[in-house]
Structure 1
Amino acid sequence: MLISLDLSDNFLSGEIPELIIKLKNLEILHLFSNNLSGKIPVALSTLPHLQVLQLWSNKLSGEIPNDLGKHNNLTVLDLSTNFLSGRIPEGLCSSGNLFKLILFSNSLEGEIPKSLSACKSLRRIRLQENGLFGELPSEFTKLPLVYFLDISANKLLGRIDSRKWEMPSLQMLSLARNSFLGGLPDSFGSDNLENLDLSHNQFSGAIPDKFGRLSDLMQLNLSKNKLSGEIPDDLSSCEKLVSLDLSQNKLSGQIPASFSEMPVLGQLDLSHNELSGEVPANLGKEESLVQVNISHNHFHGGLPSTGAFLAINASAVTGNNLCSGDKTSGLPPCRRMKSPLWWFYVACSLGALVLLALAAFGFVFISGKRNSELKRVENEDGTWELLFFNSKVSKSIAIEDIIISMKEENLISRGKKGASYKGKSITNNTQFILKKTNDVNSIPPSEVAELGKLQHPNVVKLFGLCRSNKGTYVVHEYIDGKKLSEVLRNLSWERRQQIAIGIAKALRFLHCYCSTTVLVGYMSPEKIIIDGKDEPHLIASLPGLLCVDDTKCFISSAYAAPETRETKDISERSDMYGFGLVLIELLTGKCPADAEFGEHGSIVKWARYCYSDCHLDVWIDPMIRGNASINQNEMVETMNLALQCTATEPTARPCANEVSKTLESALKTSSCVLGLKFPSSLF
């Protein structure tokens, strides 16, 4: 009696046979990530026990069977990334248990079925990148459990402010790239919104002040609309806001001075509006702000002398009446008022230059860009240079501290790429880690400095780079803890959940909110440090610094994505593959490098097999198996996510933003899978 069939992530081609109608007891069918073509068999509509149907990332065409869902017990339906056309069937939620509906990246058309408005079990809806048209059904904005709703890149229209939004669980909402018009609603019925994207529409009127009450909001995109009026000062109350894009509207007035106090704001785009006045002098004083665009407005006066505006790209400030003291901005120099005491200031300046010249034999001088500081000293080993990315750290660590740290008693590990040492400042006991790395001369200094500016609680801070004739070394913060590989087997399921969410947050920050692409390269337990509070700290890097730890690089790494083993094509998607492996390891306790997977050959193939055909007790880590409080649905959902992350085809893997939201939502609620009854073979 076959109840679960998983042939996903292979090279299957041809059509799905109609003979599948004979599998009357089938509950789970996974055929995703293949090369299957033709139509979805109508026979699938007749399988009475079918709950989970995942056919994503194939070449399927034609219409979705009209009766799909009417005679099934569907809970999960994912047909995304195919060539499907026609309308979305009305009966998909006939079971009353459908909680995940994923149909994005097809050619579906027609209106969103009104029947979905009555599907109160829905939690996750992704219909983006299709040809859907018409207005939103009247009750579609009152689904109580939906936490993720993406209907972007369609042809939807109408007003959204004339309806009532009652979606208390909503965390992510994207209506981008449609034809919605009218004003913006004051609320979407949720205090949990983290990501709101209403860009590329025809919204008009003012930005609601009440958006400032969204205390969990991390990303707000209202660009390419017809919004007018002033930017609400209340937006600065969104203390978790990382990315704010209000570009290409008709906004007027000044930049709220309170924006200077936003603690984690990293990206701010106000370009192509009608804003005026002076740029707030303190804007960019927070180190988090790394990317600003205020071009094509009516600003006047000088640019702030804060880090965000030092060496800013000329295209980000053009189209205004601004001046600057930095030549790289492309702006004219700011004129200084003449004073009767000009000769006194000249004399003082000359005196200062003389003093600087006399001090030239010293080893400290400050570079003028992005708060970086360079120290240089000569000793018996030759010339040592230490480039800092933070002035506070520069005052704490001296080159002598670096040199002293490279002693055997401070050795942490030794690998093919060099040794790692633990160091400590003589003056104030600041601790750091020193690791030898490959040559970074080919990387633009601005990109290296960008890595040094990263500020996230789950990302290890890079203090600086040190060069000498002995090589190049990375200096990063010391975390009082142990590698995940050293503590994993002793962790409870709850602690493993916390670690998984923390790593996902770090990846989301690196991939989505940094102005320069920052990668991990190999997402492995060796690159994750767990502190005393079970918080993970990820060691990240730029493409040229991917071997800052002692793990083997590229081909020989057990955590390398398939595409990196031959092409060395490191990308965000390869990071996600490594994260999927870490999730599998957190669940099973098994290491991808272990040679214990028999005929399956790899941990991924073994996990896919176990997920579909094994008792849960077979693949779950024995160290957490006996915990009576464990929610098995959480584990099944987490393993499902891990297998998506480890898809062979990179484009089939979810992005960091999606993974983070899925993990947080799935693991926060013990009933995430609702009425889903997995077959007994899974437990």
Structure 2
Amino acid sequence: MQQQVLNPFFSLLLLLCLTSIISLGLSSLYKDTQILLRVKSTQLQDKDNILKDWVPNSNNPCNWTGITCDIRNISVVSIDLSHFNLYGEFPCGFCYIRTLRKLSLGYNNLGSTINMHSLSLCSKLFVLDLTQNLFIGQLPEFASEFSEIRVLDLSYNNFSGEIPASFGRFPKLQVLKLISNLFSGIVPSFLGNLSALRDLEIGYNPFKEGPLPWQLGNLSNLETLYISNASLIGSIPDSVGNLVSLKNLDLNSNYLSGEIPNSICGLKKVEQIVLFNNNLQGELPESLGNLTTLLRLDLGQNNLTGKLPHTIGSLCLISLRLNENLFYGEIPSSLALNPNLRYLALFANNFTGKLPQHFGLYSDLEEFDVSNNKLTGELPKHLCQGKRLQSLVLFNNKFSGTLPSQFGECRSLTIISMENNQLSGDVPSNFWIHPGLETLKMQYNMFSGSISNSISTAKRLSKLHLQGNNFSGMLPTGICELHLLMKFDVSKNLLTGEVPICITRLKMLEFLRLQENMFTGPIPSNFSFWHELTELNLSHNQFSGTIPSQLSYLPYLTYLDLSMNSLTGNVPPELVKLGLSVFNASRNKLYGEVPYVFSNPVFLSGLMENPGLCSPVIKEFPPCSKQNPFSVTAVIISAACFFIFVGFVLLFLKRKFLFFNGKSCKPSYKTTTFQIVGFSEEDIVPFLTRENLIGSGSSGQVYKVNLNNGEFVAAKKLWGGTQKLHTESLFKSEIDILGRIRHANIVKLLFSCSADDLMVLVYEYMENGSLGDVLHVNKCEELREWSTRLNIAVGAAQGLAYLHHGCVPPILHRDVKSNNILLDQDFLPRVADFGLAKTLQHEEGDVSATPRVAGSYGYIAPEYGYTHKVTEKVDVYSFGVVLMELITGKRPNDPSLGDNMDIVKWVTDIVFSSAEDQPIDLAHIIDPMLNLTTCDYEVIKNVLHVALLCTTPFPMNRPSMRRVVELLKELKLGRHN
């Protein structure tokens, strides 16, 4: 009876407790809701309205975007706003939620510094992820209260200074990622105190030179150690062998020296060892053969010597990469017996002899690269036995014999690169049939026979290089079926006949090189599809007929070589519409007067050895003979009659129009002012005449206009007609970008006006024109002083850094070059010409949606060869080319550099060909026009280092423009100290 009485009592008590807990939970959740709303309204900018469901009338934030709750406690435990395109500062207000354990804000546009007070609010977090944002400044010391943090990811920001000592005092930290910031100091040894650490990634930071701390060997739980591009020096400590849990060891691109320690055999669980691009020496330790879990070994670009240990063939290898070392001798046949081998890269060594002929018989190879060695003999015919081979890279060896017919049956191939060998004979007909092939490079061998029309089946082919062989016959029309073809080079062969007219239908084509063959007939003239072409080389053939004026329709053509043919007729004046950096029509049979627009010395060499050309202004050509006086008089009388007739007609129409409409027929202009100006379209448009013309490019002509107040402005009249659609987009881009930004090193857009077929942009006038002109054409006296050139470099860098880091959203210029850096009367620079500029307010895929390579010949970053992803590192590369121009005085593709050589490769080869104990031969690089002091040489050496950093092939390795400005300013200040 008593038990029956007690049961209802306890049930009621339990109900009251549950009600109280739920009430408290709901009260806490209400507070969390208020915190979330307050942070959204005060600390974040949600431009894409992704957080639209964060609204006050919702009582349960657990259903909001990015919010995760603990259902048991009815509390917010996680906020994940990654990839939401958010702007603002560090939203520390979120940490007022006492139950919050995870805060992920990666891949946004959050910025500014993070102070200690803001950070202290978040001491209860388990996970803090701020990767891929715009945070700056030094990291604050983490307070001792941060005892629960497990994951800390601050990668891909602009944090600077040294890593704080508090980073060695996280007792439970398992993941620490600080990749790609601006940290200085050396890699700190106190990171060896993080006993719970499983993942340590601090690569791609400009640390000072220092050793790999031996204390890291204490991290017995570590599974990933990634410290690439971190200025590590000295040897790899023996303590690395204590990392018994390690699976991934990556120390690439440092300055590590000495031998690989034998203690490496202690890495019993290691799956990947990546040590390429260091200064490691000695032979490979035999103990590598004991690492039976190893899947990938990459030791390229070191100074390792000796033969490969034969035990390496017994490893459980998926990938073996030993490129760019000093290995010598033959490749051990045991490698070919490894059934697990998928990726083999042994390029850039000194391997000799023949390849084992059973390569591919026992393993399903997917990538095979033995390029840049001294290998001889025939190619192994079983390389694609497993039908999985995707990449076959054999270039720069001494392979001989014919192509195995089995290669033609390998339908999995996407890349074939076998250039610069001694392969010969006819190419098997089935070899041309590769539906998935994207790159085919066979240049500079001794192949003969014809190019099969069956190449039309290689629908995905984008790069086709067959130059420097003995191919003969006509160019097959099957080429016209390769609609993705971007680069096509069959120069230096024995090809004959006319070029198929259908080749002009290849819409993606960027480079077309047909020089040094025996092609005949006229140049194809229907260029309506060649919207992407940047280089056209038809030289050293037997082309006849005239130069098609339709070439002027190619909006991005910068390289045109028609020399050494049998072309006749006049030089089309329309070609001036092209923004050509190289133009050559020499050694033809052209005749007539050289158009006035070609009187610029830049075009002179490209017109020589045409005996029929004449000019009244260019002294290198004979003056044009005078016409018969009677014919001249007749022409004048006829012209006068024509103009009088036209005048009467216009007067009649004007009066008739006024009679019926009662208003003027004055054109209606749409005008916009972007600065305070004292002029209108009436002060600009009538003065866009030949007398005021000062320049011409791919987008239009530039005029110098004298205003009524005595000041000058520069007016760009964009091309109309067939190029109208293209120029309209340039017009809009200039207005959208220049109309809203202000910076001392960016040209000012003052005014714009447009009518039906007229688009005019008016800028501040730059007295000294473009850097390209004063450096390469005028060779201005002021540029004899290195200080002037350094000031130009700093100013231009500041302008680009503002675009990348000071604009929201960031702006990419995409056509940085010396001709787009203008100089005022004091030689202070302005970045100009924003017709190709893009903002990064959308996903990068949107920015790079067009397949066309944006930019100018010689300035384009190398990653455009395999991807069209647009990042700010494209501008950084182009700016590095400009720095090299300032140092050398040479154009990016200066003829003096030699065939197939650009300024980046020329400078890089000179710098890296110097012995380590020998100074760089600056005298061979520096512009002889410069007047230099002893101090200047040291500054130039350091600026050259900045240029090399900017033009490194890998975008991730390039500094940000903000960092470039810092480096150049330090050099500038150092020069005056």
For normalisation by structure 1, the TM-score amounts to: 0.62
Measure, in 1, the Cα distance between the counterparts of 2:605 and 2:702: 20
Measure, in 2, the Cα distance between the counterparts of 1:432 and 1:12: 58
Measure, in 1, the Cα distance between the counterparts of 2:964 and 2:313: 37
Structure 1 residues 45 and 307: alpha-carbon distance in aligned structure 2, compared to 1, 3 A threshold? same
The answer to whether 1:207 aligns with 2:499 is: yes
**Does the CA-based 8 Å contact 2:599-2:618 persist in structure 1?**
no
Structure 1 residues 527 and 7: alpha-carbon distance in aligned structure 2, compared to 1, 3 A threshold? closer
The answer to whether 1:472 aligns with 2:828 is: yes
Measure, in 1, the Cα distance between the counterparts of 2:911 and 2:586: 42
Deviation at 1:208, TM superposition (A): 1.0
Residue type of the alignment partner of 2:822: L
Q: Deviations over 1:569-622 (max 9, x none)?
A: 57997654164326999xxxxx999xxxxxxxxxxxxxxxxxxxxxxxxxxxxx
Q: Deviations over 1:155-196 (max 9, x none)?
A: 000122565642111111111110111111012342111111
The answer to whether 1:124 aligns with 2:415 is: yes
Measure, in 1, the Cα distance between the counterparts of 2:416 and 2:836: 41
Measure, in 1, the Cα distance between the counterparts of 2:836 and 2:546: 45
Measure, in 2, the Cα distance between the counterparts of 1:426 and 1:279: 35
Residue type of the alignment partner of 1:295: S
Measure, in 2, the Cα distance between the counterparts of 1:163 and 1:526: 40
What does residue 46 of structure 1 align with? 337
TM-align CA RMSD = 4.9
Match of 1:192 among 478, 481, 484: 484
Q: Deviations over 1:369-425 (max 9, x none)?
A: 987767999x9xxx9999x796779xxxxxxxxxxxxxxx9875xxxxxx6467441
What does residue 599 of structure 1 align with? none
Q: Deviations over 1:252-297 (max 9, x none)?
A: 2222232232322222222111222223342x13232342222222
SS at match of 1:577: coil
Residue type of the alignment partner of 2:616: G
The answer to whether 1:543 aligns with 2:884 is: yes
What does residue 5 of structure 1 align with? 297
Structure 1 residues 323 and 466: alpha-carbon distance in aligned structure 2, compared to 1, 3 A threshold? same
What does residue 69 of structure 1 align with? 360
When structure 1 is superposed on structure 2, of 14-23 and 496-505 the one drifting more is 496-505
Measure, in 2, the Cα distance between the counterparts of 1:107 and 1:511: 33
Structure 1 residues 573 and 33: alpha-carbon distance in aligned structure 2, compared to 1, 3 A threshold? farther
The answer to whether 1:85 aligns with 2:376 is: yes
SS at match of 1:57: coil
The answer to whether 1:304 aligns with 2:598 is: no
SS at match of 2:550: helix
SS at match of 2:828: strand
Measure, in 2, the Cα distance between the counterparts of 1:277 and 1:199: 25
Structure 1 residues 29 and 158: alpha-carbon distance in aligned structure 2, compared to 1, 3 A threshold? same
Structure 1 residues 36 and 252: alpha-carbon distance in aligned structure 2, compared to 1, 3 A threshold? same
What does residue 582 of structure 2 align with? 291
What does residue 775 of structure 2 align with? 443
Residue type of the alignment partner of 2:955: G
What does residue 387 of structure 2 align with? 96
Instruction: Tell which has more relative contact order, 1 or 2 (C-alpha 8 A, sep 6+).
Output: 1
Measure, in 2, the Cα distance between the counterparts of 1:130 and 1:444: 38
Residue type of the alignment partner of 1:580: P
- State how 1:264-275 maps to structure 2 within 5 Å: 264-275=556-567
What does residue 17 of structure 1 align with? 309
Measure, in 2, the Cα distance between the counterparts of 1:227 and 1:174: 18
Structure 1 residues 84 and 392: alpha-carbon distance in aligned structure 2, compared to 1, 3 A threshold? same
The answer to whether 1:232 aligns with 2:524 is: yes
**Does the CA-based 8 Å contact 1:285-1:308 persist in structure 2?**
no
Residue type of the alignment partner of 1:285: V
Measure, in 1, the Cα distance between the counterparts of 2:414 and 2:949: 28
Measure, in 2, the Cα distance between the counterparts of 1:311 and 1:437: 15
Structure 1 residues 57 and 365: alpha-carbon distance in aligned structure 2, compared to 1, 3 A threshold? same
For normalisation by structure 2, the TM-score amounts to: 0.45
Residue type of the alignment partner of 2:750: S
**Does the CA-based 8 Å contact 1:390-1:463 persist in structure 2?**
no
Structure 1 residues 86 and 277: alpha-carbon distance in aligned structure 2, compared to 1, 3 A threshold? same
Measure, in 1, the Cα distance between the counterparts of 2:953 and 2:871: 7
**Does the CA-based 8 Å contact 2:369-2:393 persist in structure 1?**
yes
Instruction: Structure 2: give runs of 5+ residues left out of the alignment.
Output: 1-292, 637-690, 720-739, 754-760, 784-792, 797-811, 863-869, 888-909, 913-919, 921-939, 966-977
What does residue 968 of structure 2 align with? none
What does residue 581 of structure 1 align with? 956
Residue type of the alignment partner of 1:459: D
Structure 1 residues 374 and 31: alpha-carbon distance in aligned structure 2, compared to 1, 3 A threshold? farther
Structure 1 residues 32 and 202: alpha-carbon distance in aligned structure 2, compared to 1, 3 A threshold? same
Aligned residues: 499
Measure, in 2, the Cα distance between the counterparts of 1:231 and 1:39: 50
When structure 1 is superposed on structure 2, of 111-120 and 185-194 the one drifting more is 185-194
**Does the CA-based 8 Å contact 2:950-2:958 persist in structure 1?**
no
Deviation at 1:87, TM superposition (A): 1.1
The answer to whether 1:105 aligns with 2:396 is: yes
Deviation at 1:510, TM superposition (A): 3.1
**Does the CA-based 8 Å contact 2:815-2:837 persist in structure 1?**
no
Match of 2:858 among 507, 510, 515: 510
Structure 1 residues 333 and 391: alpha-carbon distance in aligned structure 2, compared to 1, 3 A threshold? farther
Deviation at 1:130, TM superposition (A): 0.5
- State how 1:586-605 maps to structure 2 within 5 Å: none
**Does the CA-based 8 Å contact 1:524-1:582 persist in structure 2?**
no
The answer to whether 1:333 aligns with 2:674 is: no
- State how 1:378-389 maps to structure 2 within 5 Å: none
**Does the CA-based 8 Å contact 2:341-2:364 persist in structure 1?**
yes
Structure 1 residues 545 and 140: alpha-carbon distance in aligned structure 2, compared to 1, 3 A threshold? same
What does residue 638 of structure 1 align with? none
Instruction: Structure 1: give runs of 5+ residues left out of the alignment.
Output: 346-363, 394-408, 413-418, 515-522, 530-535, 547-560, 586-590, 594-683
Residue type of the alignment partner of 2:621: L
**For the pair shown, which has the larger CA radius of gyration, 1 or 2?**
2
Measure, in 1, the Cα distance between the counterparts of 2:527 and 2:573: 19
Structure 1 residues 203 and 37: alpha-carbon distance in aligned structure 2, compared to 1, 3 A threshold? same
Structure 1 residues 430 and 16: alpha-carbon distance in aligned structure 2, compared to 1, 3 A threshold? farther
The answer to whether 1:459 aligns with 2:784 is: no
**Does the CA-based 8 Å contact 1:93-1:116 persist in structure 2?**
yes
SS at match of 1:425: strand
Q: Deviations over 1:192-220 (max 9, x none)?
A: 11111111011111111111221211111
Measure, in 1, the Cα distance between the counterparts of 2:875 and 2:353: 45
User: What is the aligned-residue identity percentage?
Assistant: 26
Q: Deviations over 1:610-644 (max 9, x none)?
A: xxxxxxxxxxxxxxxxxxxxxxxxxxxxxxxxxxx
Deviation at 1:64, TM superposition (A): 1.5
SS at match of 1:187: helix
Measure, in 2, the Cα distance between the counterparts of 1:422 and 1:229: 47
Residue type of the alignment partner of 1:54: A
Deviation at 1:22, TM superposition (A): 2.2
Measure, in 2, the Cα distance between the counterparts of 1:231 and 1:101: 36
**Does the CA-based 8 Å contact 2:515-2:537 persist in structure 1?**
yes
Match of 1:261 among 524, 538, 553: 553
Residue type of the alignment partner of 1:82: N
**Does the CA-based 8 Å contact 2:748-2:764 persist in structure 1?**
yes
- State how 1:490-505 maps to structure 2 within 5 Å: 495-496=843-844, 505=853
Structure 1 residues 526 and 437: alpha-carbon distance in aligned structure 2, compared to 1, 3 A threshold? farther
Residue type of the alignment partner of 1:225: N
Structure 1 residues 106 and 179: alpha-carbon distance in aligned structure 2, compared to 1, 3 A threshold? same
Measure, in 2, the Cα distance between the counterparts of 1:286 and 1:230: 22
Q: Deviations over 1:286-320 (max 9, x none)?
A: 23234222222222111233459765223543133
Structure 1 residues 571 and 247: alpha-carbon distance in aligned structure 2, compared to 1, 3 A threshold? farther
